[in-house]
Amino acid sequence: MNYDFYAIKIQAENRTSDDYFLGYFFGKVNSGLEYRFICFPKKYVDREKTPLEMPFAEYKDYLNELYLRISSRSLEIVEMTKEFNVYLGLQIRKMGGMGAQGFRFSKMAEEKNTELIRSELNDLFRNWTSDIILRFTLDFSSFSQIYEQASLSVDTKVMLSSFGADRKDILSISDFYPLLDPMAGVTIDQYEIGSVIWCTISRFSNQTEENRLKKEYPDFFDEAGGNIVPFEGTLVLKELTADGRGVLVKVMIADWFFAKSIILHNMRLLQNTQKLQNRFPKLQEQSFQIGLDNPQARPASKGTTNTAHLENKKPIFDLGTVFIIFAIIALAFLIYFFFFYS
């Protein structure tokens, strides 16, 4: 299965106490891990809801909404949730830390080994309660699905139409979606013109440009013509949408191809090129790899300054020469004072 992120959605209750838990572990393949749990008395459970059947993005929103609603009724829920999350953090630390926990969950999810996952979860809960009813489901998502889920709350076509029919520089070019990293990414607000945005082409607007790009980068597309390896796009335009909820972004790829996208302020864009190389080995063969290994061999892009000639310049004086000059000056002062005062 081709995926970039996994989620373990969890629903649990204590047989011998009033504790009820909802939460998740969310991780990137062979990388980081994050979690969130809420703990509350069973009387607040909506038995008609089946949250584990929800897509992860919806489940996450449901968790937030539920906590806000029930915590406003009782401070006990705030304390229960805080105490359990403190306990869980300590337990994860005892079991090797977040890195080790994320690696184990990643391997178990990859193998879809639900028995091992159940055993791991029981180990995490054991010192809180040994008598627990535990249910969980797995969710998998790719970079593109993460973007689609994050965009569900808005109509990007309406946002684009707000720029007017006269904006041919925008409306006539192809579309892309950015690669998101919900865990360690940064928002579009932190990007400046000239920054790199990793992107996948979702729609071509020009057949000639499509054919040319596919000819220049054949390994970036599958047999059906889908863009399966992300491109390194250079940010050339940022404009706020009319409602202020997002940013219209235009990127340049390969110094001639342009594409657009609507990026919401709460989206976190992927920046870590090492993770991209691990996920898409074909990227290692491209020019950006040359830039990583040998910056001087990479041609400067428009709007940037090539500093290779500065790096290669030798200093006029080395440390030894400077020391000798200072010694001569000091000796001259000593001779001067000796003859002047003697």
- Please write the tens of the pLDDT for every residue from 88-136: 999 999 999 999 999 999 999 999 999 999 999 999 999 998 789 999 9
Q: Does residue 115 share a domain with residue 20?
A: yes
Structure tokens at 16: 């011998």
* 289, pLDDT greater than 70: no
Are 227 and 196 in contact by the 8 Å Cβ rule? The answer is no
| Residue 311 in this model has a pLDDT that exceeds 80 | no
More reliable by pLDDT, 10 or 320 = 10
**Strands 196-203, 231-240: parallel, antiparallel or unpaired by DSSP?**
antiparallel
Question: Would residue 70 count as lying in a domain?
Answer: yes
132 in the same domain as 187: no
Nearest by Cα to 5 from 85, 60, 67, 84: 60
Tell me 289's DSSP state: H
> Would you mind telling me the total number of residues written for the chain in this entry?
342
Is 338 contained in some domain?
A: no
Residue 327 covered by a domain: no
**Domain range holding 9?**
5-141
Whole-number pLDDT of residue 301: 38
Of 92, 111, 141, the one marking the end of a domain is 141
Query: Would 112 be classed as within a structural domain?
Result: yes
**pLDDT in the model for residue 210:** 98
Domains in the chain: how many in total?
A: 2
In this structure, are 216 and 237 located in the same domain? yes
Instruction: Indicate if the pLDDT at residue 153 is higher than 90.
Output: no
Q: Is 303 left (phi over 0), alpha (psi -120 to 50) or beta?
A: left
